[in-house]
Chains A and B, each alone.
Chain A
């Protein structure tokens, strides 16, 4: 694609397309330093595409600042393409104004307040319909409660077992060396039982459930929202919260304490291996001390907070599911937010529950 200046006229030749435009622009940069053409001779341009037309428009705008520029002699085929793709008369679109730093902070705070309010409304809806659901199963699918119980509880058993076993094992292993130095081998049972019952059992199970079931709840509801299934439920005169969330809420209320109890038991087994195998504590001593050290208050708080964690996870998962915006990408975002906020909330709540032990 040669270009040259002949008698104050810039002559373009050959094909003017996405491949040749960068070359022409490069050449033109040098030419325009020495010449100021007043016309552009297009007669020898054999074909052109939208990139070529955009280049001509850009040239026209730039050179027009230096004086009047006239295009001449384009063959009809080329002129027709120019007529389709010219941008000269198009209005320039401006992106929306970006918010300033403080504006963004203020906006986030207002949004967070709104979100919190919406979450509270949803939570009250869930509690209301769950309470109603205890006495009246109308508006819920038959078998949904059992199905959710299996999904949220039974299917989580293997991963809860594996992680709890490892946690118990690590706890014992880390403590064993120190206890042995002081000849306090037998206290491994107390340490492990208190840690597993008060903290590790409930919190580890809650984190697993948040990651596993909380994300599933958020993505399921978000997908239903995006694919208008939630609207379809409304149009069938069904309450989406009652139909979709309540079975999960009731199921998790039942299965979460069970999962926590299971987690504590498996954690004790994991830790017991070290106590018995490495610290040479007898099985009966280990079991007896573990039982003795745990109070009724410990069990009530442990299982009680696990239920609160479970509710938090379902409410947060459902909230992000219902609030989804956009398509598939929105579902992904809702799921991620749900897991992050669930885990954060569980840890904050756990800190608050710790005050009960003071």
Chain B
């Protein structure tokens, strides 16, 4: 990545609070296009909160978030909607709409945000479900799927529109190692072939080693480290060393 590449997302001095409790304390980070950025840290350190604050799903207490150099925190809803159309989000528990089938779940963004004809939408849905290895569940309902399958279906929905930025909240949790590895392959393919920027919250060390270009390590709401995995391991930060040491087997 060249040094003069403009960040696709810029977070500056982000503070998030739940009531009086500070969850994120002055997070500043740039995410570059085409990078896979992994947000790491122990439970409750604010990883998901960071993701949700960046996407305005939670209102930050203070700070700035820029997408393509545009400040989004004070942006009008419809204007931010245009930015959201270029992003996809895989939620921790899938967040599929339970009243409709998997096919319909994946078709929602395509039907509502494009003028593509039915037959094209149908092909896109088929290929996206095939990519997440879920073709057999096309016409099933979320309640008929296992947790891992729901997550994969949710990923198919998140990438339905070929987003420029994909956010994933613990994509590997609840998946078997093989599916997890194939998901990582897919993420790498999306990054390589579509130059997708990917931001992932995960604990899976194997996954981190496979896909991370950059890691952001959070601890107690503060960012302890931001850089490559190799640099993190050499940084001599106790919390990071422990994280990697304990996770090894």
Contacts and interface: CB of A to CB of B under 8 A. Distances in A.
B4 interface: no
Interface in B93-135: 98-99, 110, 114-117, 119-121, 123-124, 126-128, 130-131, 135
B120 A90 contact: no
A280 B69 CA distance: 80
Given A51-B162, A58-B119, A87 B98 contact: no
Nearest to A93: B138
Contact of A51 (B120, B136, B141, B143): B120
B98 A54 contact: no
Interface in A43-98: 49-51, 53-55, 57-58, 77, 80-81, 84-87, 90-96
B139 interface: yes
B5 interface: no
A327 interface: yes
Contacts, number: 83
Contacts of B193: 77, 80-81, 84
B134 to A, nearest CB: 10
B194 A81 contact: yes
Contacts of B161: 18
Given A17-B162, A22-B117, A329-B143, A93 B136 contact: yes
B129 to A, nearest CB: 8
Given A51-B116, A81-B193, A328-B98, A91 B135 contact: yes
Contacts of B110: 18
B115 A22 contact: yes
Interface residues of A, number: 34
A95 B139 contact: yes
Contact of A327 (B98, B117, B127): B98
B138 A86 contact: no
Nearest to A89: B130
Contact of B120 (A54, A328, A329): A54
B189 interface: yes
Nearest to A53: B127
B98 A93 contact: no
A325 interface: yes
Nearest to B109: A18
B46 interface: no
A49 B162 contact: yes
Contact of A330 (B120, B123, B126, B143): B143
B162 A50 contact: yes
A18 B126 CA distance: 16
Given A50-B162, A51-B162, A96 B139 contact: yes
Contacts of B139: 93-96
A171 interface: no
B194 A54 contact: no
A55 B162 contact: no
B34 interface: no
* The 4 A-B residue pairs with the shortest CB-CB distance in the complex, in nearest-first order: A326-B143, A54-B123, A329-B98, A93-B138
Interface of B: 98-99, 110, 114-117, 119-121, 123-124, 126-128, 130-131, 135-136, 138-139, 141-143, 161-162, 189, 192-194
13 contacts: A18-B114, A22-B114, A51-B116, A51-B120, A80-B193, A81-B193, A84-B189, A84-B193, A87-B123, A93-B126, A93-B136, A327-B98, A329-B99
